[in-house]
Chain A
Amino acid sequence: MSKTKKYTADGKKAQPHSLSSVLFTVFLWAYAIFSLYPLLWMIMYSFKDNTEIFQTNPFGLPKVWRFENYVNAWNQYDVPLYFKNSVVVGAGTVILTIICAMMFTFAVTRLNWKGREGARTLISTGQFIPVQAILLPVVQTVSAMGIMGTYWSLILPYAAINLAFSCMVYYGFFKGIPKEMEEAACIDGANIWQTFFLIIMPLVGPATMTIAIYVFLSAWNEFLLANVLVGTTAHMKTLPLGVLFFQGQFTTDWGSMGATMVIASLPAILVYCLFSEQVEGAMTTSGAVKG
């Protein structure tokens, strides 16, 4: 049951067809179109040629559906490479973040040691540090480590950035698991490692899922660090950089450019459509603590 069930959104008592409620509905639809149209426009122009995009038909559905734009983007330009890079970096970041965050939060919430509160506070300060500010030292660190031009140059910083958020999501989950779990495992003769991998890890599955989706999306779309870390390394570019690179190089072939943007966006949109609850949930948890 809604909290506002007796009212329409504009404040009048139930009069479904009053002028203001009609206007309000129109407004909701208008902004929905405003929010979606650029995306639809991109999809439409990924099927058009330059004449249609710029002269004959800039706004509507393509007259001829040119699927060859996708074939061109995939075969003639480096889209498969960018795609692979994005997948490797995204997957690597998710795995590393989850391993580190899960082990850390387990130790902080379930094991007895001095300084665990301090360690937790330390990691959580990461929430307040803007990526923009640490851009230069991170570049210096990555190049000092000699991993420039490898996948690690992106995976390690990305995992570090997502750590604070992931630990926070896990923290709530780990706190909710009854102490009896470890006691039972201990009595049954499981060692601490078995307890962690066989008992605790499956129990925090839903949190892992939320974190995986959130971290994947943020790595998939990341631009700031990727730009300074691999922006000039052709074979390491991820899709967000590929989209930009396209603009500089192939301004003559707008259809293929559109196709590349669709290819870059589709995985993220699919993830959102399939897991919209988790995506919104994850984003709002990150908000709950930052504030």
Chain B
Amino acid sequence: MKKYLSNKKAIVVFVLPAVILFLTFIFIPILQVFYYSFFKWDGVNQATFIGLDNYIRLIGKDPTFKIANANGFKFGLVITVYQLVLATIFAIAVSDKRIRFRKFFRTAYFIPVVLSVTVVCQLWGNVFNADNGLLNTLMKTLGIEWSQNWLNDRNTAIYTVAFVNAWQWMGYQFALIVAGIKSIGEDFYEAAEIDGATALKAHWFITLPLLKDTFNFCLLISVTGGIKAFAEIDIMTGGGPGNATNTLTYIMYNHAFGRQNFGYGLTSASVLVMECLVIILVLNWLFKDRETPLFARKKGVDLV
């Protein structure tokens, strides 16, 4: 039996396809990102090693870097607040058997997730179009003088694109939290009820603390989602007006494909990876189990 399960030839055949695929398209590329960030490279010819020059130029001198980081932060803030708050409320609601049409609500809230980002951007692009968009038309129909140039205004454009992302992916966090609530035992709530806690209190002291890991993950995807923002921006604003919706990914894309400056583009990509990493570490540290956890429990509802 032992020999049977140590068949060398079989092991090689089973393992190699996945490992080769992974190394070729994920692992080596991520190493290349860091490697070539130290080079001046046009993507085709011989690369020249220039040490930290790309980093110095990007972080120290490139004015778009500041804008890109600010936009990553704004984008992340919008989608985090929007998604986390609504997803939590809706998840608690559809987990309550007394709410009617729960199946319908689940489907309605989740369905934008299965659409393609290009379709979603087209739809909302039509809504936010300054000339004949649905929103401004609606304002006009209602007789409200509040027409906005949603996607072409320096100040609002980043929030508009962030909203589109938040709208599409709220359902994803919703599904995560619904799954989290499902895994909480019934007896917690029964105990709370015996203690005389209202449902709101029960959710505050039971549901939220016990969903710590779920919230950690939700925050992780939405905060890093801000840093990684690209598709909506590429489709709806092209980084504009001016540089108003530029992001780290967009700097990478622009320098590589627009100016044949791959080394510099990859520097931006490597900063992106490092920022994501820092966020993961910070969140894991914040959500680490401690003597006094962040979601402090009160006595009276004795939980864990």
Contact = CB atoms under 8 A, between A and B. Distances in A.
Interface size class of A (residues with CB under 8 A): 35 or more
A24 interface: yes
A13 B137 CA distance: 43
Contacts of B4: 182, 186, 192
B24 interface: yes
Contacts of B220: 290-291
B56 interface: no
B298 interface: no
Interface in A1-58: 1-14, 16, 24-25, 28, 31-32, 35-36, 38-39, 41-42, 54, 58
A4 B200 contact: no
B186 A268 contact: no
B2 A112 contact: yes
Interface string A86-118: 000000000010011101101110111100000
B68 to A, nearest CB: 13
Contacts of B93: 9, 24, 28
Contact of A269 (B11, B96, B114): B114
A9 B200 CA distance: 7
Interface size class of B (residues with CB under 8 A): 35 or more
B22 A7 contact: no
Interface stretch (B144-152, B153-161, B229-237, B289-297): B229-237
Given A7-B199, A163-B21, A221-B116, A247 B266 contact: no
B10 A122 contact: no
A240 interface: yes
A271 B199 contact: no
Contact of B262 (A39, A136, A264, A281): A136
Contacts of A5: 96-98
6 contacts: A38-B124, A99-B17, A111-B6, A132-B249, A163-B21, A243-B119
Given A133-B272, A141-B24, 14 more contacts: A4-B199, A13-B198, A28-B99, A32-B109, A100-B21, A111-B14, A112-B5, A112-B6, A136-B33, A186-B1, A240-B118, A265-B116, A269-B114, A280-B179
